[in-house]
Structure 1
Amino acid sequence: MKPHLRLLFFLLLFSVHSVAQEPLRLLSWNIQDFGRTKDSSEIRAIAQVVADYDVVAIQEVVAGYGGAQAVARLADQLNRLGERWDYRVSDPTDSPKYKTERYAFLWKTGRVQLRGRPWLAGSLPEAVFREPYLARFRFGEHGLLIANYHARRHDEAPEEEIALLAELPALYPGDCFLLAGDFNRSEEHPVFDALERQGYRPAILGQPTTLKHYCDDRSNYLNHAIDNVYLPGGCLPSTRAGVLDLVEDCTRLEEVRRWSDHLPVWVEIAW
């Protein structure tokens, strides 16, 4: 092999190896009433928030007209930012009246590959108002099965259905299974003990993820700690996580609440 070709080969090999070693970045976000009420400026703002991540799980996509279209608009805007994105939107959940929603996944195709077709977990009992949306992704040599979930409202005893979610990991013993979403219960609630006994741990500890309508007299705009990602103990050796504070100052609260009344949560995974 000629010297310049040998050098080019090793540079390409080093580049591919470096990209593969970069951590996977997952973001989960309940985007309130994500549908046709989101105008173009709000879609652009949301795209700027999620563009730095590799996989995005969205809850509260409107089930009727405008929900799937809003996800398509978001994907189109992300593609305008320079990297190639793809997406999937779930069918409407099998829910009681006025509880039906959709979910969505978006991902960078240059970083992550979707494996098979995502599906709603229809095997769960009817007590689960909005069954999770599951998708398998491949990142280099590693696979992840992500369950995207939005629990029933806080005043509707969401712990009754969260307890049933502890059955999901056992249904997929060959997968590295993550559970992400809006649980409407803090990670300190005893309902999560069943998951913890299986080796799962919350990525976020004691950090509020919802927004008040107004700042209080101490300039506090944060409310409840209910959004999280539950991580398995064995297959993810190294993770970092946090809440993405899009407000930072009370002067921005009204603007950010037009996007959602929840803040995104993120997890960075390295193998």
Structure 2
Amino acid sequence: MKNASAALVTALALMPAAALADAIIGSWNIKHLGWNNDKAMAEVAHVAQHVDFLAVQELMDPAALAELEQAVEAESGESWSSMASDALGRSTYRESYGFLWRNSEVEYDRGAVVFLDSQDIFAREPYSAQFTVMDSGQQFVAATVHVTYGDGISDRLPEIEALADYWGWLEEVYPGTPRLLMGDFNLSPDHPGWAALRKLGATPTITEGATTLGTTNGVWSNLYDNIWHSERLNITDSGIIQFPDLLPGDHVAARDAVSDHAPIWLALGDAGMELMAFDGSAYEAANDAVYCIDLNEASAEQLAELPGVGPARAEQVIDMRPWDSVDELTRVSGLGDVSVRKIEDSGLVCL
């Protein structure tokens, strides 16, 4: 584990520990979560557990959100829940959205829904649901979107401008409940394209700094990620989690193995942020006890971790579902009695 910079140490000393009142709400584009891209899930989980509620963009497979939920439980030692949208997109490239929350701090209320985009403006329609902060009883609407990147800003502006209509739609669907519009907007909050949303009283939480990781160590680029909020929330603090400072390795390694975007957050009421360095021990200890690969639920990437399975046989396992016992894996081409015994003995598989 690398040493933190003097600036980070000073910042950590000044930050209050997470309080038991209210909650920390976050948003994170976790680059291609669910693709077979050697994602360092333990490190992702360590960063994610700094908040009590997280909106996730670039979710490529909802099974990966379930895996992250399990990893966050192992890292934090607490119970978490999650939900994901269907895959959204106009072509073969499709993404889902996800919500992940700490059960002791936040609970789901109602109304998980994908926006009905009658004008077909959004490449990936926003996703929303209503939640309650357990300690204070504060309700909030969490809405998340990943604005198309396109070939330039002109390709992004139609979606940005349509967010004003979406903001009004949220008020109709969840009347009287404060709204949080979270996501990767691919546009700085000071751009004139936000004028229509600002006129409706929406305000960006993050106005300084940068949230995308450059390809050079220590270089941060654009302020693309944000949380736009309505006025009826007691927001007491906010910030950007520059997570490479918390992880082993350097900025470039974190960009490749975790994400090219940093999480952003806001605090409601008395909640505070305490940044914690990662060494992996808490995750590994808990993971040994609780982690298993479910033959009927796991993704192809997870199944490929089983001894002797690999990517091709993982697809066969998925195609041949449901499974009633591990012994039935001998039906998979290339898996004999000896191979199945090794899978059983690994302790990784479950039903």
Q: TM-score, normalised by structure 1?
A: 0.83
Aligned with residue 104 of structure 2, among 100, 104, 110: 110
Q: 2:260 aligns to what? A: 261
Q: Distance in 1 between matches of 2:25 and 2:235?
A: 14
Q: Distance in 2 between matches of 1:214 and 1:244?
A: 18
Using a 3 Å threshold, how does the CA distance of structure 1 residues 98 and 207 change in structure 2: closer, same or farther?
farther
Question: Can you list the C-alpha shifts for 1:115-140, whole angstroms capped at 9, x where unaligned?
Answer: 12511112453111111110110113
Matched, 1:119 2:113: yes
Q: 2:65 aligns to what? A: 71
Map residues 1-271 of structure 1 onto 2, 5 A cutoff: 19=20, 22-39=21-38, 42-62=40-60, 67-80=61-74, 81-93=76-88, 95-123=89-117, 125-139=119-133, 140-153=136-149, 155-156=151-152, 157-171=155-169, 172=171, 173-215=175-217, 220-233=218-231, 235-248=232-245, 252-257=250-255, 258-270=257-269
Secondary structure in 1 matching 2:244: coil
Secondary structure in 1 matching 2:145: strand
More strand as a share of residues: 1
1:154/1:185 contact within 8 Å kept: no
- Over aligned residue pairs, what C-alpha RMSD do you find? 2.1
Which amino acid letter does the alignment assign opposite residue 26 of structure 2? Answer: L
Q: How many residues align?
A: 241
Q: CA deviation at 1:27?
A: 1.2
Q: Distance in 2 between matches of 1:37 and 1:176?
A: 37
Q: Which range is displaced more, 75-84 or 166-175?
A: 166-175
**Unaligned 5+ runs, structure 2:** 1-18, 271-351
Q: CA deviation at 1:102?
A: 0.4
Using a 3 Å threshold, how does the CA distance of structure 1 residues 245 and 190 change in structure 2: closer, same or farther?
same
Q: Distance in 2 between matches of 1:202 and 1:38?
A: 32
Question: Can you list the C-alpha shifts for 1:86-134, whole angstroms capped at 9, x where unaligned?
Answer: 00011011x2214421011000111111012511112453111111110
Q: TM-score, normalised by structure 2?
A: 0.65
Question: Can you list the C-alpha shifts for 1:208-231, whole angstroms capped at 9, x where unaligned?
Answer: 11111123xxxx411111100001
Larger Rg: 2
**Unaligned 5+ runs, structure 1:** 1-17
Using a 3 Å threshold, how does the CA distance of structure 1 residues 256 and 26 change in structure 2: closer, same or farther?
same
Q: 1:11 aligns to what? A: none
Question: Equivalent pairs: percent with the same residue?
Answer: 29
Which amino acid letter does the alignment assign opposite residue 153 of structure 1? Answer: Y
Using a 3 Å threshold, how does the CA distance of structure 1 residues 254 and 132 change in structure 2: closer, same or farther?
same
Q: CA deviation at 1:196?
A: 1.3
Q: 2:15 aligns to what? A: none
Q: Distance in 2 between matches of 1:254 and 1:227?
A: 19
1:38/1:70 contact within 8 Å kept: no
2:30/2:258 contact within 8 Å kept: yes
Q: Distance in 2 between matches of 1:39 and 1:244?
A: 22
Q: Which range is displaced more, 169-178 or 106-115?
A: 169-178
More helix as a share of residues: 2
